[in-house]
């Protein structure tokens, strides 16, 4: 390809809103242009690299036995109402109406569409397992798009969905997909960190994210350098730093020597820090109790015969019926030096969303201002963090202004509705596997795999007959990769101050040929080398522009093409004639005989492709 015949509008200036390397270099190298906030156009150079990533993903998906299909981007809203996510997805989902006033969704994800396709075709377990995937456009109405294509509103994802007669079959495909993801990112030249993760709004049980380290990452990773334990902070666990007493009777025995519950005056003392100073003791002696509002909670609430029962505080009505609660209030109690992990709490409540209750709601529910809540006598379901079960002589709020309880003991003075791990793990906590000290890194998610279970097949009435002719509900897996984010992350990992340094597998071109002037002997040598490389299957860009050599060299570095061949009169006049060859990731160039240059360059291309694709 002659550079004068393509469209690569390089920039010398950095865009004012570009704060990441990928954003800067994708614009400056002529890969990308902004059409609107969060909406971007891939120009020819960028699209070539994008298609390379896409092809790697397609090859690895095909190798797992997954089959590619092409669903529409706009899908009927009825499918989302069936699954229950029409309301729970919130404002990030773009809803539109057609001329008949029908509801439609511009897909932010595709569980509903794939499940509907299978529902209409599935009749027997013999058709399972089945894995389908798409590489398609998605739209999420981000509140604040930023970092270029790293967090845009429209993006391309690979979604795969698998359907199985049982969990054993799902486990195998889940493991196969995990292996395929590791190969995909290796072939792209990326150093990923697989971490245990929360399934979030997708639902399901098993979940693994594939992260890249990033200073502007949206995720906090909890890692162990000793054994390799890795988890997203939303899912991370740690070794207990307390003596747990999971059974109330054990706790009661432990509390036998604890003095009776006692109210103490704590005027204008609300926070853990203020309490620590006021009582001259450490935060580990306190029970912190927070009131939460949960949306669409499906956990089994306390009540007769295990029925779901909770007070809908906004209306004051009682609910005693199956199914999710639109809105309900709960308490979360945790040791005073720790923080509640709201993602873990939402998982415990099986809620689509949890958030701290408004001050007015807290006062109405507890009868006291914010800061004086406690689990003793609280008329709400209380989720106890496991740390609280190890506390038998604690200080906690007394549900009255300026009052706290001293000597509160679990099992004697209060019990929980659910006991679970809802703490936020932080650097310095101990690894749950080996006991080593954990540390933190920031990361960006590139891919995520889930075991969805029967969340969607059950909600959307998918069934088939098993070996005995009995109707069963299939289990599902979900496997996603963001292509735009993957491409940007490659640049984040592979660049220097001059520009991009593409891995060979995803480079828009393998070799750039730069004649000092595209005329005479230099033109003939450049055209000859280009033809010989193309005959060997090497992708080349020939810079035939009437620009100064310095401009050409700077643009070549900016675009990041892995190999550069410079052709000038001085080297052609040598005996034998030579060209100057330079790798983008090396400082020094070297002379290669012109007659052997094509073989030399194609050999370097083949070797690098083999190394990354191995």
Q: Within 10 Å of residue 123's Cβ, how many Cβ atoms?
A: 9
> pLDDT value at position 302?
58
Judged against a pLDDT cut of 60, whether residue 136 lies above it is answered with yes
pLDDT digits (tens, 9 = 90+) for 293-349: 998 787 776 542 333 334 443 334 344 334 456 788 999 999 999 999 999 999 899
Pick from 489, 490, 487: nearest CA to 501: 490
**Which segments of the chain belong to CATH 3.40.50.800?**
509-613
Pick from 218, 171, 223: nearest CA to 193: 223
pLDDT digits (tens, 9 = 90+) for 233-242: 998 999 998 8
Name the DSSP class of 209.
Answer: E
Residue 26 token pair: 């994708």
> pLDDT value at position 352?
79
> pLDDT value at position 494?
97
Residue with tokens 């001259």: 280
Where does 16-237+440-491 sit in CATH, by number?
Answer: 3.30.930.10
pTM, two decimals, is 0.86
Q: Using alpha carbons only, what angle is made at residue 464 by residues 458 and 467, rounded to the nearest 5 degrees?
A: 130
Pick from 249, 337, 233: nearest CA to 288: 337
Name the DSSP class of 377.
Answer: T
User: Are the C-beta atoms of 389 and 306 separated by less than 8 Å?
Assistant: no
**Which segments of the chain belong to CATH 3.90.960.10?**
248-420
pLDDT digits (tens, 9 = 90+) for 490-539: 999 999 999 999 999 999 999 999 999 999 999 999 999 999 999 999 99
Average pLDDT over residues 375-380: 93
Q: Does domain 509-613 have CATH number 3.30.2270.10?
A: no
Side by side, which strands form the sheet with 325-335? Answer: 353-356, 287-297, 325-335, 382-385, 418-420
- Kindly give, in sequence order, each residue whose CB lies less than 8 Å from that of residue 29, ignoring residues fewer than 6 positions away: 8, 10, 45, 499, 500, 558, 559, 560
Torsion of CA 32, 35, 40, 43, to 10 degrees: -40
- Percent of the chain exceeding pLDDT 90 equals 79
Burial class for 157, CB neighbours closer than 10 Å (0-12, 13-18, 19+)? buried
User: Are the C-beta atoms of 515 and 525 separated by less than 8 Å?
Assistant: yes
Topology, domain 248-420 = YbaK protein (3.90.960)
> pLDDT value at position 319?
40
Q: Using alpha carbons only, what angle is made at residue 471 by residues 466 and 473, rounded to the nearest 5 degrees?
A: 90
Distances (CA, A) of 145 to 41, 217, 461: 15, 14, 36
Q: What is the spatial distance between Cα 272 and Cα 275, in angstroms, rounded to a whole number? A: 5
Residue 539 token pair: 């992708």
Burial class for 511, CB neighbours closer than 10 Å (0-12, 13-18, 19+)? buried
> pLDDT value at position 246?
59
pLDDT digits (tens, 9 = 90+) for 46-95: 999 999 999 999 999 999 999 999 999 999 999 999 998 888 787 889 99
Residue 230 token pair: 């890795």
Average pLDDT over residues 184-201: 84
Pick from 110, 131, 22, 11: nearest CA to 68: 131
> Considering the chain, what is the average pLDDT of its residues?
91
């Amino acid at each position: 390809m002659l550079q004068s015949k393509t469209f690569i509008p390089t920039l010398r200036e950095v865009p004012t809103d570009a704060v990441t390397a990928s954003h800067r270099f994708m614009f400056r190298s002529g890969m990308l242009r902004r059409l609107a906030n969060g909406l971007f156009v891939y120009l020819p150079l960028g699209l070539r690299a994008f298609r390379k990533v896409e092809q790697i993903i397609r090859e690895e998906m095909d190798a797992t036995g997954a089959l590619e299909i092409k669903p529409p981007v706009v899908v009927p809203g009825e499918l989302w109402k069936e699954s229950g996510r029409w309301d729970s997805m919130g404002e990030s989902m773009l809803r539109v109406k057609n001329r008949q006033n029908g509801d439609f969704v511009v897909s932010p994800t595709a569980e509903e569409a794939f499940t509907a396709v299978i529902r209409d075709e599935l009749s027997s377990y013999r058709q399972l397992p089945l894995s389908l995937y798409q590489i398609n456009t998605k739209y999420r109405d981000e509140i604040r798009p930023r970092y270029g294509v790293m967090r845009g509103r429209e993006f391309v994802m690979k979604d795969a969905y698998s359907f199985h007669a049982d969990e054993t079959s799902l486990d195998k495909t889940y493991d196969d997909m995990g292996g395929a993801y590791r190969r995909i990112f290796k072939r792209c030249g990326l150093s990923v960190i697989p971490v245990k993760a929360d399934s979030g709004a997708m639902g399901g049980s098993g979940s693994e994210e594939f992260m890249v380290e990033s200073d502007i990452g949206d995720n906090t990773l909890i890692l162990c350098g000793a054994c390799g334990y890795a988890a997203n902070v939303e899912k991370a666990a740690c070794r207990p730093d307390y003596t747990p007493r999971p059974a109330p009777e054990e706790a009661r025995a432990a509390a036998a020597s604890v003095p009776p519950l006692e109210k103490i005056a704590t005027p204008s003392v609300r926070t853990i820090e203020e309490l620590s100073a006021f009582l001259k003791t450490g935060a580990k002696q306190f029970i912190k109790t927070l009131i939460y509002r949960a949306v669409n909670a499906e956990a089994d609430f306390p009540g007769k015969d295990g029925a779901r029962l909770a007070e809908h505080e906004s209306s004051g009505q009682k609910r005693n019926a199956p199914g999710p609660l639109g809105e309900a209030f709960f308490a979360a109690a945790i040791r005073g030096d720790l923080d509640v992990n709201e993602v873990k709490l939402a998982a415990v409540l099986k809620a689509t969303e949890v958030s701290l209750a408004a001050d007015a709601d807290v006062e109405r529910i507890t009868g006291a201002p914010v800061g004086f809540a406690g689990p003793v006598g609280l008329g709400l379901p209380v989720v106890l963090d496991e740390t609280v079960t190890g506390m038998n002589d604690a200080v906690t709020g007394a549900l009255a202004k300026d009052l706290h309880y001293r000597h509160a003991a679990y099992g004697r003075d209060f019990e929980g509705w659910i006991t679970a791990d809802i703490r936020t793990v932080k650097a310095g906590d101990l690894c749950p596997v080996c006991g080593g000290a954990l540390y933190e890194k920031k990361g960006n998610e590139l891919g995520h795999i889930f075991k969805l279970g029967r969340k969607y097949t059950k909600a959307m009435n998918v069934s088939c007959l098993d070996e005995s002719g009995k109707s069963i509900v299939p289990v599902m897996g979900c496997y996603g990769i963001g292509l735009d984010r993957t491409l940007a992350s490659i640049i984040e990992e592979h660049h220097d101050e001059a520009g991009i340094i593409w891995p060979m597998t995803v480079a828009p071109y393998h070799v750039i040929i730069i004649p000092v002037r595209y005329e005479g002997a230099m033109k003939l040598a450049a055209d000859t080398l280009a033809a010989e490389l193309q005959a060997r299957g090497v992708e080349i860009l020939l810079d035939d522009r009437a620009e100064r050599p310095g401009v050409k060299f700077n643009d070549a570095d900016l675009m990041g093409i892995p190999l550069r061949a410079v052709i000038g009169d001085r080297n052609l006049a040598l005996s034998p004639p030579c060209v100057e060859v330079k790798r983008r990731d090396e400082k020094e160039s070297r002379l290669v005989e012109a007659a052997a240059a094509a073989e030399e360059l194609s050999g370097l291309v083949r070797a690098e492709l083999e190394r990354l694709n191995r």
